[in-house]
Every structure is written in structure tokens, then in C-alpha cells.
Chain A
């Protein structure tokens, strides 16, 4: 049998072809994945020495070249929180509508196309939109409010799609049983379906906010300043933010100590990857507990 295989030249060459192809695909995967690991490790190694209590909790001094980045950290925190306030209720409700209420008609298809397009609009165009609508037309000025609203609309498609997907995974029988016991459509959705889908919804929310926290272009002309002597007092004040801070100190400040640059990048990375980690934990724990 083995002899037969080996004496057949066609089979041998196709096995060799498979071997070569497999190694090529493995190599390609390595080329994709290794730089990610390298970047993350490199930033951690270069940034860790500059992380200190003072670096995190102090105001910048001497034109950013000394001191800490507290206002940028708190600014990114405010922006993420503010984005959540608008985008989470709206996005989850929209996901609920599409998964639980909408019938498959022309309007629903139009909603889907709109969501796909919202997801595809370049982030800098969101910035233009925010400038035109929130900053100028509604006269919010360059403010946390304008930035949060802009970021909210940008994160909506992520939250809507993942909410819809999470709801669709809940078995249909749950709804049938609930309705047959006399519950209304809303009671079934609110008490039965949504709690079951909660981990999936939460994952989507966190991933959407993760993207909002790291974005620069949408807040560029809607709500950030490079330096503010004090923390913002209201949602109509401008704020500092980590991504924009990184952009400016790495491109436009001469004599910027490289230590502070890597430190700031590391803080943003921890912020963003921390959210990613939380989302993964939520997902894994929910999968382990799920009984259907």
C-alpha cells in the first residue's frame, strides 16, 4: 500500500504541493500576527520605565516635556463615558428593534443598508459632520458634548450589529413559551430575551467604546485641545485626550522626550486593551455558564 503510494508520481507531487502550500499559509499567518505581538511588547518594554504615580496623576509641565498626563487620561475617560451615555441605549434599542420587532420588508432592508454605511464612513468624515452639526449648527462649540455625540454615532453600528446577533442566538422557544404564558411582546423582550443575550450585548458595547476611546479624527475638530491648564468643568468645555495628545507630542513638539511619548502610548494601550480583555472575559464566562 505504501509502496503503491510512493510509486505514483501524481500523488507524491500533490502531497508535496500540499506541504509547500501549508507552510506558505503558516508563514503568511506569522507575518500577520508577529508584528502585532512585537508592537505590543515593544511599547510595553519602552513605555513601562516612564510609568509612575506622578506620571499618571500630574499635570503636564514645561510645554508637555515634564510632569504627567492626568488631564489627557481623565479626558479620554470622560469622552468614553459620555459616548456610552448616548450610544448604548440608542444602539441596544435599535438592535432590539431589528432582531425582535422588525419584519423583513423594504424598510428593514433600508435600515440595514444605513447601518452598513454608518460603519463604513471614514472617521475623519464623522469629524466633519460633528463640526458642521454639533459644533457650528447646534452651537455646542468645541466641547466634550459635541465630541461625545460624534463618537456615539460612529460607535452605533458596532453596538447595533452585535446586539442583534446576540439576540438572535437566544433560542426561539424562549419567546414562544413566554408569549404563550401571556406575556406581551415587550415583557418577553425585556424579561426573557434581553437578559439571556446580555453578555453578547455587553461585549459589543465594550468593543464599540474601545474604538471610540482610541479614535482621534472624530474629536480633532469637535472637542479636544492640546493643552488646558485645568480639567474641564462642564460638558460644554473642551478637553484633552490621550489619542490626540499622542498625535501632537509625536509630530509637532520639538525636543519631546521619547520616554514621555512611549509612556503616553502605553497608557492608551492599557486603556484600550484593558477594555478588550474585559470583553473577552465577559464572553468566555457567559459561554461557560450558558445552558442552551
Chain B
């Protein structure tokens, strides 16, 4: 068998290089974030970085309020998105007749494709006034408004991945349960969903990753107030996430200033968070796949 002609050698080398380019890009991204962001640790006092006040003009660079802003918005969003996403994927994969399935899947794809700036715009025009009136808040620009938009951004990710997971559950499982007298719903809830558990967990984790990293929609509707949240009602007040801080302040800082470095430092935090979430998610899904291969053989 002829592996390659001499003329093809460069082509094959190029293809191999392209294959490895992803590793190169992740490394370069990491190195450049470090290069621009790590000097922040030398130029800004640690007590300032770990403080609770974000007021860059006066030299206060407390990251905690931004971190907690991201945290409460993301957590609330994911609490809304889990039932929506998993429920929809159950309906599409297990219950819906074919023609509804063919109608729903493109719709979910449209949601996944809606630019976040469009969702943010609708948020400003519709969701913000609605929240202010219905919850009687001083302003509709709040963490909760952001969380609701984020939930809709995270949902398509959860739907498509957990639907894939549900589809790979062997039909023998379902047939066995039904043959033993379980109803359709008992089969779905007690057999199919637990069997697809690791895929569903992966889906939720990637949804969390999507929500933490979302920038524009959150920036437009959360009110951009970098204050430390106090108590549980903080979700009804304006907050500011890490992503929104970078996006709204990077345009105005001097290159190489401490403020610039701290914004890159926040970038390092975001990068590390998404790295951790993705590595754990892929670990959960491979472990789940291996376990199901074992139990099937």
C-alpha cells in the first residue's frame, strides 16, 4: 500500500500542524493572559485585590464583589436552566412525536444562535421594565434579570448535550422496564434519566461554563454596580459580573497600567474557571461512558 507520494509530504505535514494548532492556541492564550495579568500581583497590593471595594480611579481593585456578582447571577441562572434544559431534552428525546421533534430542534438551534447582544437588547426593552413593575423594584436592572437571560443562553447547551446522552441509552433498558410493568414515565424517570446521568451532569456543567463566560447580555441588563452583595435579596439589586467589568472598562484604560493588569488578571480567573469546568465535565462524561460499556458487556 502506498502511504504517500513525495509530493504529498508537505500536505500531510500541514494537516498534522493544523491538528496540533489547538494546543498551540490554548497555550498562547494562557501565556499572554499571564504576561499581561500577573504583574498585577506585583503592582497592586494584595489587600486591595482581596478587598471588597472595586473603585479603580482611587486604586481600589477588590475582585470579590465582581466574583460574587458572577457567582449569584450564574447560580440563579443555572437553577432556572436545569429544569428548562433537562425537561426539554426529556420531552424531545423520549416523549415528543417525530413531527414535533423536527419542529423543536431548529427552534432550540435558533436560540443557540441568537447573538447575546440581541438578547441583551430585548432584555433592556422588555425584561427590565417588566421586572421593575412586576416585582416593584427601584430598577429592573438587576442580577435576577441577568440571570433569566443567562438561563435562556445556557438552556440550548444543556438541551443538546443531555438529549445526546438520553439518545445513547440502549433501548434494551427501556424495553426491560416496560416489560416489567413500569409506565412510560416511570421508565423515563427511574431508568433512562439515571442511565444518562453522566451526560446530563456534563450538560449542566457546560451550561454553567456558558453562563459564567457570557458577557454582553449580562452587561446590558444587570445595572453594572460593582458592589459587594449583602444577603439573599442581592439578586434583586444591580450587580456586576467579572466578564462585564472587563468589557466595560478595558476600552478606557491605559495599556500597562495597574488597572489594565487587574482586568487581565480577572481574565486569568475566568480562563482558569472555564478550564476547570471543561476538564471536569469531559472527565465525568468519559467515566460515565466507560462505566456503561462495562455494564453492557
**Contact yes or no, A221 B250, CB < 8 A:** yes
Decide yes or no whether A120 CB sits under 8 A from chain B.
yes
A228 at the interface (CB under 8 A from B): no
Contact segment of B43-51, B231-239, B263-271: B263-271
CA distance A102 to B16 in the complex (A): 8
Is B88 at the interface (CB under 8 A from chain A)? Answer: yes
Q: Which of A18, A29, A112, A276 contacts B113 (CB 8 A)?
A: A276
Name B110's contact: one of A22, A36, A118 (CB within 8 Å): A36
In-complex Cβ contact of A220 among B90, B107, B247 (8 A): B247
- Once A111-B20, A120-B278, A214-B115 are accepted as A-B contacts, the answer to whether A33 and B104 lie under 8 Å apart by CB is yes
Determine whether B98 belongs to the interface, using a CB cutoff of 8 Å to chain A.
no
CA distance A89 to B155 in the complex (A): 31
Q: Is B172 an interface residue (CB 8 A)?
A: no
CB 8 Å contact bits of B119-160 with A (1 = contact, 0 = none) = 111101110000000000000000000000000100100010
A91 to chain B: closest residue by CB: B18
Q: Is the CB of B3 within 8 A of A28?
A: no
Chain B 256-284, CB-CB to A under 8 Å as 1, else 0, gives 00000001100100110011011100100
Question: Among the listed A136, A211, A217, which residue makes an inter-chain contact with B255, where contact means beta carbons less than 8 Å apart?
Answer: A136
Let me know if A113 and B110 touch, CB within 8 A: no
> With A185-B3, A276-B110 known to touch, is A97 a contact of B19 (CB < 8 Å)?
yes
Of A49-57, A58-66, A124-132, A230-238, the segment with at least 4 beta carbons within 8 Å of chain B is A124-132
B88 touches A90 (CB 8 A): no
CB distance from A74 to the nearest CB of B (A): 18
CB distance from B175 to the nearest CB of A (A): 17
A15-B183, A28-B91, A124-B213 as given contacts; A273 in contact with B113, CB under 8 Å: yes
A268 to B126, CA, bound (A): 19
A151: interface (CB < 8 Å): no
Is A246 in contact with B29, judged by CB distance below 8 angstroms? Answer: no
B contact residues around A197 at 8 Å (CB): none
| Chain B nearest Cβ from A275, distance in angstroms | 8
In the complex, given contacts A217-B243, A268-B118, what are 14 additional A-B residue pairs having Cβ atoms less than 8 angstroms apart? A22-B95, A32-B84, A35-B152, A36-B152, A39-B122, A40-B110, A96-B19, A122-B270, A125-B213, A128-B36, A185-B8, A185-B12, A210-B113, A217-B215
Q: Which residues of A contact B (CB under 8 A)?
A: 14-15, 17-18, 21-22, 24-26, 28-29, 31-33, 35-37, 39-40, 42-43, 89-90, 93-94, 96-98, 101-102, 107, 110-129, 131-133, 136-137, 153, 156-157, 160, 179, 182-187, 207, 210-211, 213-217, 220-221, 243-244, 246-247, 250-251, 258, 261, 265, 268-269, 272-273, 276, 280
Query: Would you list 29 pairs from A and B whose C-beta atoms are within 8 A, ordered by A residue?
Result: A14-B186, A29-B88, A32-B159, A36-B107, A89-B18, A113-B279, A114-B23, A114-B25, A122-B213, A122-B215, A122-B274, A127-B247, A128-B246, A128-B250, A131-B250, A132-B33, A132-B264, A156-B22, A213-B115, A214-B116, A214-B117, A216-B215, A217-B215, A217-B243, A243-B115, A246-B117, A265-B118, A269-B118, A280-B109
